[in-house]
Chains A and B, each alone.
Chain A
Amino acid sequence: MSRRNFLKAGAVAMGLALMAGTALAQDAIKIGLILPMTGPFTSTGKQIAAAAQLYMAQKGTTIAGKKVELIIKDDTGVADVTRRIAQELIVNDKVTAIAGFGLTPLALATAPLATQSKTPMVVMSAATGIITERSPFIVRTSQVVPQIAGPFGEWVAKQGMKRVVTVVTDYGPGHDVEKWFSDVFKANGGQVENLRVPLANPDFSPFLQKVADSKPDALLVFVPSGVGSQFMKQFVERGLDKSGIKLIGTGDVTDDDILNTIGDVALGVVTAHHYSAAHDSPENKAFVEAFKKANNGLRPNFMAVGGYDGMHALYEGLKKTNGAGGEALVEAMKGLAWNSPRGPMSIDKDTRDIIQNVYIRKVEKVGNELFNIEFATIPNVKDPSKAK
């Protein structure tokens, strides 16, 4: 091939690629959903993708006369891949918004892109406080760790408990839970002892022995959900459940997705969280039923509800902007309020973060299944790390 022909072929190929790109961009509203669909965080991705698809199946795929298209991509939970996929979705697929983001570093890696390309970014899972401050284009529909752990500390103190030992996994979210729970609990007159277990080697026996020796009123635990069952089994095996030490935690430990596999050792564990599949409302009943039906009996968990509400925020925003994206879409999503399956929630118009109820629940048996049954509500909690 001569140089001239080569250049010609190149020019034609480039032209075709550009044309294909622009032609598609005008016809559809594309939403890029980036999730860990393989690797250790597969269940996060699976739940969110299923919920987003369910939302679209229920609410239709047309907004302002344009077709809504969902592009699901697997980032394997690795930050630079997340960023590259987001970049490809923005420049090649010309998506109107990006969504998903299973873990904090994945969201943080992508945040500067959202700012640079003015693409709205809906965080459906990652829960560290700082995320929404990293780009004015980020809206969150999952949870913020301090939002759950802080009020829980206050509630536990009000139950008359004086001494609590915390056992958290030694990584970002664990530190957040430890800090926010401890600070608030101490401010309310409690005493706290902090223990950290390594992420890689979850042998809890030395830690549980320490807890048994110090005999606190309660033991607060935060570990990745898969490890939670192991922790509870050892807790029961050592007879700590009969020693009068109450086992408490954030709802991640009694995740709806795996609660039944944890088994009866989880009975009686008290947790604080924003969503339970057993939440008593018509919206949630319909959601759980439809979700199970579409997914082979899989029970939705808090990840699923984050994905479902993320799609709702995008849909309602897009309806207001007639399908336009960019800053207009972010503006349209600010201040949205609705009745989600989790209960009433809204998007804070100042911080673009989520405002929602935090529920105190206890694991109980209903029929043959275990559920987190809510028995107290702390209404409309803002992220305390931003409330200044």
Chain B
Amino acid sequence: MPGTPTEIATRHLAETSRWKPLEFAFWLVAFGAIWLLPSHHLILNEIIITALFAMSLDLILGYAGIASLGHAAFFGFGAYFAGIFAIRVIGDPLTGLILATLASGALGFITSFLVLRGVDLARLMVTLGVALVLGEIANKMTWLTGGADGLQGVMMGPVLGLFEFDLYGRTAYVYSLVVTFLLFLLARRIVVSPFGLSLRTIRDNPLRARAIGIPVNRRLIAVYTLAAAYAGAAGALLAQTTQFVSLDVIALHRSADVLLMLVIGGTGYLYGGFAGAIVFKVLQDVISNWTPQYWTFWIGLILVILVLIGRERMNHRVAVLWARLRGKPEPRPRTIVGGH
């Protein structure tokens, strides 16, 4: 169906924005887990928060091609903001969450100018540096953050004034899941919009993007700010549901772990963070229950195998199988958007 370029573009956008059956299934299972897995709400809460955090990194890595080793800066900032807000101002979770999200976004906006300054390696260093600086500030400002002992005395009020955080983690999971779902819907809308498409153009060829009139820097600032706000929301959720914040929310291993999850789950389709977080956390939980001392060995081995086999190839196998089951022609092998 040829047509004018505008028609083709509109059609392409509409096509990519359509919900696929697997997506429905995913969210059905995620919400079903509220009733189906009552004794696992605590780990589910941790998984969904990590997934939101990973998704925020995917927004800049998978869609805009900005590699970051310091994304935990925003996660940690959001966590500390929400924790300190609850102690010093008011314990209402939603107010704290919204303000922490906005504040992290503001921090992302300010630091985005530093990130614009370089390309890949320089960006890695700059983002890492920002996280280290914030980590040290949190360490030093003991009167505000509790320093190395962690922030104590966070007391959260009930969500919407109705649902108290319980020991079983049910409220925590439902709260985190709903927030993540809403933020996901927004992100999904954004990435299939013309704005999202322009980001992908920048990722694939910034020179050309500039040549065809895309304001590259402004787009990058916008998406970096958005990703920072998302990471801040994830951090705020963690602080509120665990009612404790310690320095490791901002530590290097958080940034590295979330990058690892995107390696497992894939970038550039928003679900990579979810898939990675689920695989990583569940493997960690299962294997470390079985061997608390040596689980990192097995995780490492699985990662190596995963990379050797290649995620694209595995995804392709699944796609072929799916097509055969439905009696459709086999799809051509296709790299995931964002795979280099």
Considering only residues 1-59 of chain B, those with a C-beta below 8 Å from chain A are 32, 35-36, 38-39, 42-43, 45-46
Task: Contact check, B244 vs A80: say whether CB atoms are below 8 A apart.
Answer: yes
Task: Contact check, B148 vs A104: say whether CB atoms are below 8 A apart.
Answer: yes
* Cα distance, A225 to B295, chains bound together (Å): 25
Task: Contact check, A37 vs B292: say whether CB atoms are below 8 A apart.
Answer: yes
Interface string of A85-104 (1 = CB under 8 A from B): 00110111000000000001
* Cα distance, A113 to B243, chains bound together (Å): 10
Binds B, one of A10-18, A245-253, A376-384: A10-18
Task: Contact check, B42 vs A87: say whether CB atoms are below 8 A apart.
Answer: yes
- B side interface size, CB within 8 A: 33
When distances are taken between beta carbons in the complex, the residues of chain B under 8 Å from A10 are 32, 35-36
When distances are taken between beta carbons in the complex, the residues of chain A under 8 Å from B248 are 77-80, 105
Task: Contact check, A105 vs B43: say whether CB atoms are below 8 A apart.
Answer: no
Residue B246 contacts which of A6, A79, A91, A116 (CB distance < 8 angstroms)? A79
List the A residue with the shortest CB-CB distance to B296: A38
Interface string of B231-249 (1 = CB under 8 A from A): 0000000100011101111
Known contacts A134-B152, A172-B147, A172-B149: does B246 contact A105 (CB below 8 Å)?
yes
Known contacts A17-B39, A105-B148, A172-B149: does B244 contact A91 (CB below 8 Å)?
no
Known contacts A73-B289, A80-B242, A84-B42: does B36 contact A108 (CB below 8 Å)?
no
Considering only residues 145-169 of chain B, those with a C-beta below 8 Å from chain A are 147-150, 152, 167-169
Q: How far, in Å, is B241 (CB) from chain A's closest CB?
A: 9
Q: How far, in Å, is B234 (CB) from chain A's closest CB?
A: 12
Residue A38 contacts which of B36, B45, B293 (CB distance < 8 angstroms)? B293
Interface check B193, CB cutoff 8 A: no
Task: Contact check, A73 vs B288: say whether CB atoms are below 8 A apart.
Answer: yes
Chain A contact-residue range equals 35 or more
Q: How far, in Å, is A73 (CB) from chain B's closest CB?
A: 6
List the B residue with the shortest CB-CB distance to A109: B244
When distances are taken between beta carbons in the complex, the residues of chain B under 8 Å from A37 are 288, 292-293
Interface check A338, CB cutoff 8 A: no
Known contacts A105-B247, A108-B149, A172-B147: does B36 contact A46 (CB below 8 Å)?
no
Task: Contact check, B292 vs A21: say whether CB atoms are below 8 A apart.
Answer: no
When distances are taken between beta carbons in the complex, the residues of chain A under 8 Å from B42 are 84, 87-88, 91
Task: Contact check, B152 vs A83: say whether CB atoms are below 8 A apart.
Answer: no
When distances are taken between beta carbons in the complex, the residues of chain A under 8 Å from B249 are 80
When distances are taken between beta carbons in the complex, the residues of chain A under 8 Å from B152 are 108, 134
Q: How far, in Å, is A22 (CB) from chain B's closest CB?
A: 12
List the A residue with the shortest CB-CB distance to B152: A108
User: Nearest 5 A-B pairs (CB), nearest first?
Assistant: A79-B246, A105-B150, A172-B148, A74-B292, A109-B244
List residues of chain B with CB under 8 Å of any chain A CB. 32, 35-36, 38-39, 42-43, 45-46, 139, 147-150, 152, 167-169, 238, 242-244, 246-249, 253, 288-289, 292-293, 295-296
30 contacts between A and B (CB under 8 A): A10-B32, A10-B35, A10-B36, A14-B35, A14-B36, A14-B38, A38-B288, A38-B296, A42-B293, A45-B292, A74-B295, A78-B246, A78-B248, A79-B246, A79-B248, A80-B246, A80-B248, A81-B46, A84-B42, A84-B45, A91-B42, A92-B39, A104-B149, A105-B150, A108-B149, A108-B150, A109-B150, A112-B243, A130-B149, A171-B148
